[in-house]
Copies of this chain bind each other. A is one copy, B any other.
Amino acid sequence: MKRIAESTVRRLSIYLRFLEESENRGLATISSQELARRGGTTSAQVRKDLSFFGSFGKRGLGYSVPELSASLRDILGLRRTWNVIIVGAGKIGTALAQYRGFRQRGFIVSAVYDRDPRKIGTVWESLTVRDVAGIEKDIDAAAPDIAVLAVPGEEAQGIANRLVKAGVKAILSFAPTQIHTPADVTVRSVNMAMELEGLSFALTSRDRNGAEDGLDSASR
């Protein structure tokens, strides 16, 4: 099977979000044109993205909303649920543990870890914060699919190493610093500092260049 670009996968997510919305409204079909408009891309891009996985449309008509939704969920691996653990019970970690969107989309948070004795044992939405010291044993027993890293930057790489050694194959990192893992472990990262600095750069270079042309709209 061909390698799929990360940009394509990101767009599939966006298409799916809009398809679900359309599904709730009872729309029956949708064109690549419309999908593109809402996803901030072009109709050719939409068709190309889908073409990597098959032919889902009807010529002259467009795509069946429920069928394409189902196909995308299938492609993205969303027909099953995923077992997620969160490491770090600080501001971000606890916000995530309580975030409804996770469970809604089939990402079930099964445990939260921290190393601070004052936090260990406290309860968040039916989850007790566990001691990160025992995380290897837990991973062995429960084989979580995804680990969310929400620890301070200095600790992130160390924890990541332990997770990888224990067998975790997918990490969502919130650390402001780059995480390195073996090639068979997938890492996605959300780096707030980087995003803010991107905005700072855009605002600054706009000023430096006399403010006529901006950067592109509807980013990413």
Contact = CB atoms under 8 A, between A and B. Distances in A.
Interface of A: 1, 3-4, 6, 9-10, 12-14, 16-18, 21, 38-40, 75-78, 82, 91-92, 94-96, 98-99, 101-102, 105, 107, 145-146, 169-172, 176-206, 208-209, 213-220
B219 A188 contact: yes
A178 B10 contact: no
A117 B123 CA distance: 28
Contacts of A95: 91-92, 94-95
Pick the 7 closest A-B CB pairs, nearest first.
A77-B204, A184-B214, A95-B95, A186-B202, A77-B200, A13-B194, A170-B199
A196 B9 contact: no
A180 B92 contact: no
A180 B220 contact: no
Chain A interface, >50% SS class: mixed
Contacts of A180: 40, 217-218
B91 A98 contact: yes
Nearest to A177: B17
A145 B207 CA distance: 12
B185 A82 contact: no
Given A1-B209, A6-B219, A181-B217, A101 B176 contact: yes
Nearest to A218: B180
Contacts of A102: 192, 196
Nearest to A181: B217
10 contacts: A4-B201, A6-B219, A16-B197, A76-B200, A92-B95, A145-B203, A178-B218, A180-B217, A184-B213, A190-B192
